[in-house]
Amino acid sequence: MSLCKKLLSLALTVAMVTALAGCSTSNSSSSGSQSETQGEEKVLNIFTWAGYFPDDILAEFTEATGIEVNFVPFESNDEMLMKLQAAQGGDYDIVLASDYIIDIARNEGLLKELDTSKIPNFVNIASGFQNQYYDPENKYTVPYAAGIPLIVYNPEMVDFEITGYEDLWNPALADSVVVMDDARNVIGLTLKTMGESLNTTDPEILEQAKEKLMTLKPNIRALDYNTPHILMISGETAVGYMFTSQVVTALQANPDLKVVYPKEGLGFGIDACFVPVNAPHPDNAFAFLDFILDGERSARISEQTLYINCNSAAAAEEYELNPALIISNDIIENAEMIKDVGETASLYNDIWTEFKLS
Amino acid sequence: MKKRKSSGKALSLGALPMLLWTLVFVAIPLLYILWMSFMKRSATWGVVAQFTLDSYQKILSPTYLKVFAQSMWVALLTTLFTLLLGYPFAYFTAKLPRRARSAVLMLLVVPFWTNSLVRIYGWMILLRSQGVLNNLFLSLGLIDQPLKMLYTFGSVLIGMIYALIPFMILSIYSSVEKMDWSLVEAARDLGASAWRAFFTVTLPQTAPGIMAGCVLVFVPSVGLFFISDLMGGAKTVLLGNLIRNELLTARDWPTGAALSMVMMILSMGMIALYKRLAGDKSLEGLL
């Protein structure tokens, strides 16, 4: 009896799974044929972090074009890639994610080439943000925002001038530093103090970096990826190393905080938009990219996201963009991008775990 | 006996959807994780279908063993403190008049209708250096510098105890409530002191509740990663944190899967141990 039951349930399961699989393939084929026909359905599926595209921009787009926006949020780049892979590069029309994951997605063949004839504003992209490693020929992506982690400190609580990463090790800062809970960025700043690349894969150099990082521990009050600025604003910590939007937010709450462009060199990252290879509505996606590349709108977006603007047209004076959000090309040239390090990511992660445990 | 068997048959047909559900959403994913834990991490993304024991070997490295030790230590302390705080609470609640009793239980349960993350943020507002407690102490002149209470090992423990204590209280409460009070009376009549009666009569009778509470607190406490992230400034690493980091940051799915397997085996070991010791069926169905 029980064997019978098991067999029956197994058979039913198999039937269910195949039925589900059937569903998904018929779905993707129908959406594929849809994109070939001229009149696209007036829908745009956007896939990115919640709130990253300002609501007023999305509403304006719908008003101007009649295209309905479906916003699907993700939590992390990795989640995005997992879902995009499961959808075989379909389901979504616009994906906004970080540089390194775009590089992986491009190598997996998940990106669709942009039809720049449908994106006249493509020329607005600032040259410093073009020809990046994740898209060397500018065929697939539109940079949306850039982030450069910086040091912020509260002069009331620190009695010396901070000029670089090395100062974070100063014994005067015992138990009063917050840095992001992120292996690559913090091991990266340690590497920078040693004059090494942020993307080193040499285990010996990483071992030295680990030794050095361990000596930073007594100064660390907390590791916080999402809200380090709150620790700065509330006076919990005297010094913080955090992402651009967090720096700007902290400054808005407490204008007395000082921002440091570390002398050892900067690390930076770009978040860019791409169209997945089997996007159901690519023409709508191109129209949307053109829409947000407009100088005035791009400036408005940066004022809301508080990330560095990547659009040369947005820097025009009449848009009054916050100067902190515009960065000169020579600063970008001297900055180093954080890239995917493949299998070495495990080593970075182990160092990070050990650092937390120490 | 015969009767039970036939009713069992009727039940089993009704349980078919449940069986299917379990198979599709529990058994298959578990097998997938097991399979994943023996695969090799791909250089860029995902896994390569190649059998290896690397992930399990990695777990035996000193760093990972330290995480296990730290996790177990936090879980042990959490269990101990929830027991010490929860037992008297449950005991006296059970002795309250009926109406007061349901009011107390209600008060215990109501906060848990709020998302636990929100409640943890509440604790952060209480404990931070310009938070409610520090401001209160400062204005009373008890301290002249804000105390560093948040982002310490102690604050992680507070968060853990706060999050898990209802499980302890409710398990103990249910066994105190079922207790035969006449046995305590008999012990007292025969000359036992109040404490002696408690230790020889009350405590053994409530042991099943204590054991159940310990299992229900200990097992989840190794996985509540957001508490150590938020209240400990991510400086305390629990097994849950490690698994999340392996999967999301290092993108090392096999190691994450192997860690999950080990954690599940540990949890099941705990429950098996409990069943062995308690020898009763109050946790029937958990294993």
User: What is the least distance, in Å, from the CA of A349 to any CA of chain B?
Assistant: 6
Query: Would you say A285 and A94 are in contact if contact means Cβ atoms under 8 Å apart?
Result: yes
Cβ <8 Å between A348 and B250: yes
Q: Give the pairing of strands A68-74 and A141-147.
A: unpaired
Hunting for tokens 């939590």 — which residue is that? A75
**pLDDT given for residue B250 in this prediction:** 78
pLDDT beyond 70 at B66? yes
A85: left (phi over 0), alpha (psi -120 to 50) or beta: alpha
Cβ <8 Å between A346 and B41: yes
**pLDDT given for residue A20 in this prediction:** 43
Domain ranges for chain A, please list them: 40-146+269-327, 150-265+337-357
d(CA B74, CA B69): 9
User: What is the least distance, in Å, from the CA of B24 to any CA of chain A?
Assistant: 7
Q: Give the pairing of strands A267-274 and A94-98.
A: antiparallel
User: What is the least distance, in Å, from the CA of A5 to any CA of chain B?
Assistant: 8
φ, ψ for residue A227 (rounded to 5)?
-135, 40
**pLDDT given for residue A127 in this prediction:** 87
- CATH architecture of the domain formed by A40-146+269-327: 3-Layer(aba) Sandwich (3.40)
For B237-285, the pLDDT digits (tens) are 889 888 988 887 778 889 999 999 999 998 888 888 877 876 655 555 4
pLDDT beyond 80 at B44? no
Interface residues on B facing A, Cβ-Cβ cutoff 8 A: 9, 12, 16, 19-20, 23-24, 28, 41, 43-46, 61, 63-64, 66-67, 70, 128-130, 148, 150-151, 229, 233-237, 242, 245-252, 255
User: What is the least distance, in Å, from the CA of A57 to any CA of chain B?
Assistant: 30
Query: Would you say A271 and A146 are in contact if contact means Cβ atoms under 8 Å apart?
Result: yes
CA nearest to B226, candidates A318, A68, A32, A75? A75
Q: Is A108 helix (H, G, I), strand (E, B) or coil?
A: coil
In A, residues 249-268, which contact B (CB 8 Å cutoff)? none
In chain B, residues with a C-beta closer than 8 Å to the C-beta of A76 are 248
pLDDT beyond 90 at B131? no
pLDDT beyond 50 at B207? yes
Mean residue pLDDT across chain B: 87
Closest partner CB to A81 (pick from B12, B19, B45): B45
Residue A91 in tokens: 């389901």
Cβ <8 Å between B67 and A357: yes
pLDDT, tens digit only, all 358 positions of chain A: 444 455 445 444 444 444 444 344 334 333 443 444 457 889 999 999 988 999 999 999 999 999 999 999 998 888 899 899 999 999 999 999 999 899 999 999 999 999 999 999 999 999 888 899 999 999 999 999 998 899 999 999 999 999 999 999 999 999 999 999 989 999 999 999 999 999 999 999 999 999 999 999 999 999 998 889 999 998 899 999 999 889 999 999 999 999 998 999 898 889 999 999 999 999 999 999 999 999 999 999 999 988 999 998 888 878 877 777 888 777 777 789 988 888 888 899 889 999 998 8
Cβ <8 Å between B248 and A76: yes
Distance set, CA B182 to CA B88, B189, B206 (Å): 20, 10, 14
**pLDDT given for residue A225 in this prediction:** 87
Q: Is the ipTM of this complex over 0.95?
A: no
Q: Counting one residue from A and one from B, how many pairs have CB atoms under 8 Å apart? A: 102
Q: Which of A78, A356, A358 has the most B C-beta neighbours within 10 Å, making it the best mutation to test the interface with B?
A: A356
**pLDDT given for residue A213 in this prediction:** 97
Cβ <8 Å between B20 and A12: yes
Whole-number percent of chain A with pLDDT over 70:
89
Rounded to a whole number of angstroms, the distance between the first and last alpha carbons of chain A is 56
Write b or e for each residue in B145-178: b if 16 or more Cβ atoms lie within 10 A of its Cβ, otherwise e.
ebebbbbbbebbbbbbbbbbbbbbbbbbbbbbee
Closest partner CB to A5 (pick from B12, B24, B46): B12
Domain ranges for chain B, please list them: 54-278
Rounded to whole angstroms, the maximal C-alpha distance in chain A is: 80
CATH class of the domain at A150-265+337-357: alpha beta
A50: left (phi over 0), alpha (psi -120 to 50) or beta: beta
Query: Would you say A337 and A99 are in contact if contact means Cβ atoms under 8 Å apart?
Result: yes
Q: What is the CATH number of domain B54-278?
A: 1.10.3720.10
Query: Would you say A288 and A170 are in contact if contact means Cβ atoms under 8 Å apart?
Result: no
In chain B, residues with a C-beta closer than 8 Å to the C-beta of A104 are 44-45
